[in-house]
């Protein structure tokens, strides 16, 4: 059988718990700097009594969380802008400032200019 010579699966590492102080310092550093160079990571790990791998993994996970949060915020802003646009269009439609569905939209190429523009063009050059 092809699976007979396989080594048994490795045990999963238990979840690492960080102290409040470690998390506070990691968050503070993340707020200033989203990516750490290896020397910066090693120094931070040493100062927090963590391994380099723990700091690296924490930053990777925190960047993932940050990207998800910013994407959710952008989506919420987009939806709010859409709601505002719809409400402004409905208000303009109610006031007759915006053509409704099926009504022709004004074409600026076929509409006459307002008189003030005629005056500007027709004024004599001295």
Q: What is the DSSP letter of 36?
A: -
Q: Is 110 a member of any domain?
A: no
Q: What was the pLDDT predicted at 93? A: 80
Q: What is the pLDDT of residues 34-67, one digit of tens each?
A: 999 999 999 999 999 999 999 999 999 999 999 9
pLDDT of residue 106: 65
58 by Cβ neighbours in 10 Å (0-12 / 13-18 / 19+) ranks as buried
Q: Does the residue 2 lie in any domain?
A: no
Which residue's structure tokens are 């940050």? 66
- Residue 69 included in any domain: yes
In a domain, residue 55? The reply is: yes
Per-residue burial over 18-30, b if 16 or more Cβ lie within 10 Å, else e, is eeeebeebbeebb
Rounded distance between C-alpha atoms, residue 3 and residue 79, angstroms: 52
- The per-residue pLDDT for 95 is 78
**67 lies in which domain range?**
20-96
What's the average pLDDT block by block, 10 residues per block, for the chain (126 residues)?
A: 74 91 98 97 98 98 96 91 89 74 68 57 56
CATH number of 26's domain: 1.10.10.60
Domain count, the chain: 1
Please report the pLDDT score of residue 36 as a whole number.
97
Reduced to 3 states (helix: H, G, I; strand: E, B; else coil), residue 52 is helix
Taking the C-alpha atoms of residue 126 and residue 123, their distance in angstroms, rounded to an integer, is 9
Any domain includes 8? no
Q: Report the alpha-carbon distance of residue 31 to residue 73 in Å, rounded.
A: 17
Predicted TM-score of the model (pTM):
0.59
């Amino acid at each position: 059988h092809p699976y007979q010579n396989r080594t048994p699966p490795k045990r999963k590492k238990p979840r690492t718990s960080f102290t409040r102080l470690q998390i506070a310092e990691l968050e503070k550093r993340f707020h200033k700097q989203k990516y750490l160079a290896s020397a910066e990571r090693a120094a931070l790990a040493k100062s927090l009594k963590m391994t380099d791998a723990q700091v690296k993994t924490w930053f990777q996970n925190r960047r993932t969380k940050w990207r998800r949060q910013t994407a959710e915020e952008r989506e919420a802003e987009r939806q709010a802008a859409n709601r505002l646009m719809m409400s402004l269009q409905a208000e303009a439609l109610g006031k007759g400032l915006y053509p409704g569905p099926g009504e022709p939209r004004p074409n600026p190429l076929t509409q006459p200019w307002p008189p003030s523009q005629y005056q500007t063009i027709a004024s004599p050059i001295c």
